[in-house]
Every structure is written in structure tokens, then in C-alpha cells.
Amino acid sequence: MGFSTALQGRAAHEALIVRQDAELRLMETMKRSIQMKAKCDKEYAIGLIAVAQQGLKIDRADEMQGSLITKSWRSYMDELDQQAKQFKLNAEQLEVICDKLAHLSQDKRKARKAYQEEHAKIAARLNHLTDEVVRKKSEYQKHLEGYKALRTRFEEHYIKAPGRSGRKLDDVRDKYQKACRKLHLTHNEYVLSITEAVEVEKDFRTVLLPGLLEHQQSVQESFILLWRNILLEAVQYSDLTADKFKEIQKRIDTEISGINPTEEYSEFTEKHKTSPTTPLLFQFDETLIEDIPGKLTASTLTVDNLTVDWLRTRQLELEAAVKDCQERQLKIIEHVNGGSPVANGSIISNGSSASNGIQSNKDSQIRQSKDLNALRCQEKQKQKLVDMIKCALNEVGCEELPSGCDDHLSLEQNFIEHGFNNEQQLSLSTNRPLYEEEWFHGVLPREEVVRLLNNDGDFLVRETIRNEESQIVLSVCWNGHKHFIVQTTGDGHFRFEGPPFPSIQELIMHQYHSELPVTVKSGAILRRPVCRERWELSNDDVVLLEKIGRGNFGDVYKAKLKSTKQDVAVKTCRMTLPDEQKRKFLQEGRILKQYDHPNIVKLIGICVQKQPIMIVMELVPGGSLLNYLRKNSNSLTTRQQMGMCRDAAAGMRYLESKNCIHRDLAARNCLVDFEHSVKISDFGMSREEEEYIVSDGMKQIPVKWTAPEALNFGKYTTLCDVWSYGILMWEIFSKGDTPYSGMSNSRARERIDTGYRMPTPENTPPEMYRLMLKCWAADVDSRPHFDEIYNVVDALILRLDNSH
């Protein structure tokens, strides 16, 4: 069944048009995908070449002299280089295929247009005649009614005065005759129009439309044939099982198969023969305790009120470890004697051995024997420690435990005696609230806390919300980062694993002074309190005055600082957001705190002592640049607009020098200060790196402001900001219009990918529009950097000023 018989209906015609549109969209999708594939293959080829070059940088190659592994490795790297060249060649062929698809798409668009025009043409003739028949019928009805009325009138006059003549009767007769003539003429026209319509409809249905559809089917099928051939060609250059790749792989396999383990180390062993190793001597350094009178003894455990709990806990842990070693030894013995294989950290199961094809039964037995010996050694080592602790505890017995400290010193005196009166000394006052302590960081999220703790022993205290309940947490850097929730006793005291204290401050002081681990398992010791950074402000110092906007994380307020009476802008973060979102919120503050430029909004500080978390910034009186452009559209001059572009370029030039990618540059994210000065703001999406690859999807991306390579590949560089700057220039000169007005995001993206660029806004200087087009170059490397952009705009302004 073909087009000519099956697709004559109107619905079928519309469906065919829709199908053609869908095929064109599919072609565009395929073209973009193949372009991405070519790009990926090129990048992969570059990566492979780098791998091969790196792999051939063998340090001290003379030390690997005679190594079959080294020889095979060099061959492997050389073949990788060949693979890279083949991938690059395939990528270039894929780019040729993309051009073929583009031409095919253009031809298909022309064919679709020709079909629509021809269909409309032959349908128009039928539609015209159909309308003509209806019109003739309507005329027929009208003249028939007139004829009937005049005939009735004529008959009435004739019957009333038979055989008479007169002016009135003549007049009636003339009108009747004219109506009769008009009716007959209309009748003939109606008959002819019907006859013509019948013929045209018949030709339309049996000749013209079937012929058009048959031709269109042929055209469609020829396109499908070309399309298929292009896809076959694309697949050919994506086939990793092709002979060229097989040959490379075969050469690699041959080289590696030539490695003989028994010959690998013969030359090396002969060259480096040595005597057996001398035992290492471990001894307690007695100089460590020379200045400590009588409490600590070399190579002897100390049991007193400070250590007894720790020793007992340690004994239990070691006994459990001994038992675990014994159980694992039994499992290995059972397995060797025919029991079922046990999959654990030290045994390779039969399934694993069979699956990788490397471990033979002999290798497995050797490995199990080695694991068994290792476990026996571990058991002996840990049992030695258990016996030592038991012996020390038994010597004390049930007697009263000796004190580990000098009892005559108070807690405060102990701190002073041990020299904690330095710039990081912990305060002994428990009268003031916890949030006033310099080492208390409020509700600072865990990710921010980790960034502050850099050396083992660094610590701070913070607050977290779990299950809508506030908890105080001690965060310590110790072999990584550890976080301990402060436990509350029934009588309102605070503790970790040691004794309770009436306040959190005293608990922290105890841990700091005693140098005992916070918990036995962690071993974490407090050595240096990390105080709040200078830009961490107190929430109580900020008075919110009025809401002036809303951001992604919460509301924005005009506020005042109590300490300086300064008006500021404050971004707040909703309390209900998860820690991950709060971290993203604070990221803007972390980036801004290190920047100082007149065209970058200034950070004053962040407030994390309690909820809500806030970012405090300078208040820029003009508000959003977008709103400013729209409100002042009638009064803005070209000189002022160019000045705004220069300010934005100056700010972005500064960010580029700091390797900061803004990622959301737009008029809505710029602020206007006095004298139309522009400041870059809203760094919530910014990243401090030369290249940033999106790994969490492309949600909430401002599509109409984002460069194509970022949308297509998730790859951001400062040249993506240059594209966004071009859109910002367009917004400034259009006085706040919406880019790609009337287009959806997806439609705008499609048009941009096919080369469309927005026309110049009214009254835009030609040089500024040319700069916009440079910023929108499809080739990333063809776009100017912000230093060049700034110089161009500055020179244009200078020229404008001189001309006046």
C-alpha cells in the first residue's frame, strides 16, 4: 500500500507534514550527536596520545633492564598511539558525515516545501471550484425565488384583465421575462460549474493527488536510502571491531603473551643479591619521661583514674580482635579441607578464581596458606597486648586507683600551669553563652567546617539540626575529619566517653587540657581551637529592615549593621534546606570574600551563629540592572549604555584573572550603583577553576544566556562567560528586552545550533553589535577574552567622548 492510495485524506496529508518535520528534527539530533561523537573521539585520541606519552616516561629505565614487562609495556604504549591516530582519523570522517547530514537536511526541507506548495496548488483549484458551485447554487436559489414571485404576480394581473393591455401589465410582463431569463442563465452556469467541478475533483482524486503522493513517496524513500547510507557510513567509523583495531589489539596481545614470569626477574635477582635483613630494634626512649617525677615508667603501662577506663576498653577491643583472627583461621582451614569457600577480605573464592582465569588451584592454596600465617601472626601480636594490659590491671587489683593528676591544682590552675595562656587559649568563663566563644561556629555546614580543619588536632564546635532537633557537635581533624555529638546526661551535664561537665565549655576544656582522646575508637586529641574567621559575623549584629527580593535559597533584605550603622543587603537561607543546599548557598560568600574590585559586589560577611544563615553584602542602591534598564528606558543614552558594558567587562576581566567562572552572567544578576555604575553579583553558580565540567545534571541552567558548548557538553570555561556577556550587552542596548523573545528555550537552542544570532537592537552602535557577534562565535577559541573586550569598549567610549 503506497502514498497514492493510502494518504489522500486531509488528516493523512497533515500527518505526512508532521512526519517530515519529525524526520528533520531527527536529522538535527543525529547531526548533533555525531558531532559530539566526533568531538569525543578527538578528545579521546588526544587523551590516548597523552596516555602513551606518559606511559613511555619510564624513570630510571636502566633499573628495568632486561624486563619483559617493560618491553611489552613500550609496545603496548606504541600501539595505543596507533589507536589514537585511528580514532582521530575516524573523528574527521564523522565530521564529513555531519556535513552530508546537513546537506541532506537542507534538501529535505526544500522537498517538503515543494510538496506543500504543489499540494496547496492542486487543492486550491478544487477548493475554488467547490466554493464556486456553492455560490452558483446560492444564486440559483435567489433567482428561483425572484422568478416564482414575479410569475405569480404576472399570472394575477393576466387573470384579472384577460386580453387587456396596459402600461402596468407590460411592466409586470417585462420583469417576469427578465427573471425568467436570469434564472435560465443561472441554471446553465450552475450546471457547467458542477460539470467542471466533477471533472476537476475526479482529476484531483485519480490523477493529480495520486501522482503528487506517488512522487512524494519516491522522494521520501530516496531520502531514506541516502539517510541509511550516511548512518551506515557513520557506524563504519564507530566500529571498534574493525580490522584496523583488531590488528592493533592482536599485536598488543602478542606482546603481552610473550611475558614469561619465570624469566622476568632472573637478571634483576642476579644483579641485586643481598644478605638477609638485620632485625630492627624498638626501645622506649627514656628521655621522654626524665622530667616527670615518678608517675610514668619506661615500657610499663600506667594504671590510674585517668587511664583505667581506656585500658579496659582497649582490652575488650583487642580480645575481640583475637577472637576474630581465630574464627577466620578456622574458616580457612575448613575451606582447605573441602568445606565451602568463604568470601572475605583475605580469601579469593573459587568463583573469583575461575572468572578471572589467572589464579590456579596451586596459587589459591599458596594464597590461603599466606593468609593463614598472617592471621596467626596477628593473633599472636594482639594476644601479647591483651596479656600486657591484663597484667597491669591485675597488679592494681581492687585497690583504690591512683590519681593521674596533682590533686592540689584546680582545673583553672592546671590550665595556667600547662601554659595555655596563648592566643588560642580556651576561655574558662562559663557565664557567657556558647555562641560568644570564638571557637563556636554556629550552624556552619559540615562541608564548610571540613575546609577549616587542616592539621591533626584542629577542632571547633558547631550546631547541627537532626530530625528537627538541635545538637552540638565537636568537629576534629584527626586522620581525616571526625564529628562527635555532645551527649547530654539526665541531670543536664555534657560528656563524650569520659566524665560529665556542667557546661559545654568545661567539657571542651577538659578534653583540651587532658589530651585524652575524645573517644577511644577515634583516638582524636584536641590540640588547636580554630576560631571564627574575621568575616563570620554575629546574627545579632544584623537588623533586617525590609524585604527587597527573593533568591534561589531564600529572601533578600535591606538591613543595617548595629556596630557600624551601615546599610547592607542580606541574603537569607531557608532553615528547612538540607546541608548540601546550605553549602551551595555559602559558596557565594566563600568566593566573594577574596575579591575586591569596584565592579564586583563586595562581601561584608556571613552569619552562621544561628538560623537563618545569612550572607551580608554591600547595598547597591540602584537595584537590579534589568529592572533599572526597563524603568529608565526613555532616558538612557548610548554613552551610558556603553559605560555599563565597560563596567561589566572590567568586573569580568578581574574574575577571569582569578580563574573564576561566573556561569550566570545576565542583567538580572548585575546591580546598578551611583552614576549608572554596574557591579557583577550573584555568584551562586560560580566556580574557581579554569575549566568546570557539570556532573550533577543541567537543572536550572539559564538556557538563553548559556554558551552552546556548555549546554551540549556541560563544559564551562571563562569563554562561556564571554558568550553570556554578549547576551548581557544585547539586554543593555535593548533596554531590558527578553533575549530570543517569543521562542521557548528548546527552540532558541535549536536556532542557535543552526547558526541563528539575534539581530542588533535599535540604535546600537555597529561596533558594539560586531563585538556581540564575536562573543557569540560558535568556535570557542574565536571569542575574545575579557581583557580584549574591555579594551575595545573603552576605546569606543573614548572615541565617542572625543567626538563630542
For residue 675, the 8-state DSSP code is G
pLDDT over threshold 90, residue 475 = yes
Paired strand residues for 614: 572, 607
Give the residue-averaged pLDDT of 27-33. Answer: 91
> Annotated catalytic residue: which of 371, 458, 647, 664?
664
How many Cα neighbours within 13 Å face the side chain of 262? 0
163 is in an annotated binding site: no
pLDDT for residue 339: 52
The residue among 113, 117, 102, 112 whose CA lies nearest residue 226 is 102
260 is in an annotated binding site: no
Indicate if 291 belongs to the active site. no
How would residue 417 be classed by pLDDT, with cut points 50, 70 and 90?
Answer: very low
- Residue-level length of the chain: 804
pLDDT for residue 691: 52
Least confident of 210-214, 354-358, 616-620: 354-358
pLDDT over threshold 80, residue 737 = yes
523 is in an annotated binding site: no
Q: Are 662 and 705 in contact (CB under 8 A)?
A: no
Least confident of 175-179, 494-498, 693-697: 693-697
pLDDT over threshold 60, residue 189 = yes
182 is in an annotated binding site: no
pLDDT over threshold 60, residue 713 = yes
For residue 519, the 8-state DSSP code is S
Grid cell, residue 292, equals: 616527670
pLDDT for residue 431: 61
pLDDT over threshold 80, residue 274 = no
For residue 208, the 8-state DSSP code is I
Residue 421 burial class via C-beta count within 10 angstroms: exposed 0-12, middle 13-18, buried 19 and up: exposed
Most confidently predicted of 192-206, 277-291, 350-364: 192-206
Give dist(CA 801, CA 793) in Å, integer. Answer: 12
Q: Are 473 and 486 in contact (CB under 8 A)?
A: yes
540 is in an annotated binding site: no
Least confident of 72-81, 160-169, 385-394, 724-733: 160-169
Answer whether 0.75 is exceeded by the pTM. no
Residue 627 burial class via C-beta count within 10 angstroms: exposed 0-12, middle 13-18, buried 19 and up: middle
487 three-class SS: strand
Give dist(CA 1, CA 529) in Å, integer. Answer: 84
pLDDT for residue 695: 46
DSSP element (H, E) containing 603: strand 603-607
Least confident of 156-165, 217-226, 388-397, 467-476: 156-165
Least confident of 327-331, 348-352, 498-502, 604-608: 348-352
**Count of CB atoms situated within 10 Å of the CB of 511:** 23
Task: Give pLDDT tens digits for 114-145.
Answer: 989 998 998 898 899 899 989 999 998 998 99
**282: amino acid identity, one letter:** F
pLDDT for residue 716: 87
For residue 207, the 8-state DSSP code is I
Percent of the chain scored above 90 by pLDDT? 36
pLDDT over threshold 70, residue 60 = no
DSSP element (H, E) containing 670: strand 670-672
Cis peptide bond prior to 612, omega within 30° of 0:
yes
Q: Are 246 and 145 in contact (CB under 8 A)?
A: no
pLDDT over threshold 70, residue 379 = yes
pLDDT for residue 458: 95
Task: Give pLDDT tens digits for 559-581.
Answer: 999 888 899 999 998 887 877 77
Give the residue-averaged pLDDT of 714-735. Answer: 94
Q: Are 474 and 459 in contact (CB under 8 A)?
A: yes
| Backbone φ, ψ for residue 796 (5° rounding) | -65, -40
- Give the sign of the dihedral formed by CA 158, CA 164, CA 165, CA 166: negative
The residue among 108, 96, 103 whose CA lies nearest residue 34 is 96
Give dist(CA 69, CA 199) in Å, integer. Answer: 87
How would residue 366 be classed by pLDDT, with cut points 50, 70 and 90?
Answer: confident
pLDDT for residue 1: 59
Q: Residues with Cβ < 8 Å from 323, sequence gap 6 or more?
A: none
Which carries the bigger pLDDT value, residue 419 or residue 638? 638
**Count of CB atoms situated within 10 Å of the CB of 493:** 16
- Give the sign of the dihedral formed by CA 242, CA 244, CA 247, CA 252: negative
Which carries the bigger pLDDT value, residue 644 or residue 349? 644
555 is in an annotated binding site: yes
Average pLDDT, rounded, for the chain = 83
396 is in an annotated binding site: no
Grid cell, residue 644, equals: 555599563
pLDDT for residue 309: 77
* Whole-number Cα distances in Å, 348 to 152, 336, 372, 540: 115, 12, 13, 61
pLDDT over threshold 50, residue 354 = no
pLDDT for residue 59: 64
Helices 68-160 and 243-257: crossing angle in degrees, nearest 10, is 160
pLDDT for residue 412: 38
How would residue 422 be classed by pLDDT, with cut points 50, 70 and 90?
Answer: very low
Radius of gyration of the chain (CA): 44
51 is in an annotated binding site: no
Which carries the bigger pLDDT value, residue 74 or residue 282? 74
pLDDT for residue 402: 54
554 is in an annotated binding site: yes
Least confident of 59-68, 469-478, 487-496, 547-556: 59-68
DSSP element (H, E) containing 571: strand 567-572
245 three-class SS: helix
553 is in an annotated binding site: yes
Give the residue-averaged pLDDT of 522-530. Answer: 93
Residue 678 burial class via C-beta count within 10 angstroms: exposed 0-12, middle 13-18, buried 19 and up: buried
Give dist(CA 516, CA 305) in Å, integer. Answer: 12
Task: Give pLDDT tens digits for 628-679.
Answer: 999 999 999 999 999 999 999 999 999 999 888 888 899 999 999 977 899 9
pLDDT for residue 698: 47
How would residue 793 be classed by pLDDT, with cut points 50, 70 and 90?
Answer: very high
The residue behind cell 590491671 is: 393
Grid cell, residue 589, equals: 560568600
The residue among 627, 662, 609 whose CA lies nearest residue 548 is 627
List, as one string, the DSSP characters of 34-59. Answer: HHHHHHHHHHHHHHHHHHHHHHT--T
Least confident of 194-208, 330-344, 467-481, 592-606: 330-344
Paired strand residues for 306: none
Alpha helices in 484-523 (DSSP H): 504-514
Least confident of 228-242, 319-333, 374-388, 411-425: 411-425
pLDDT over threshold 50, residue 241 = yes
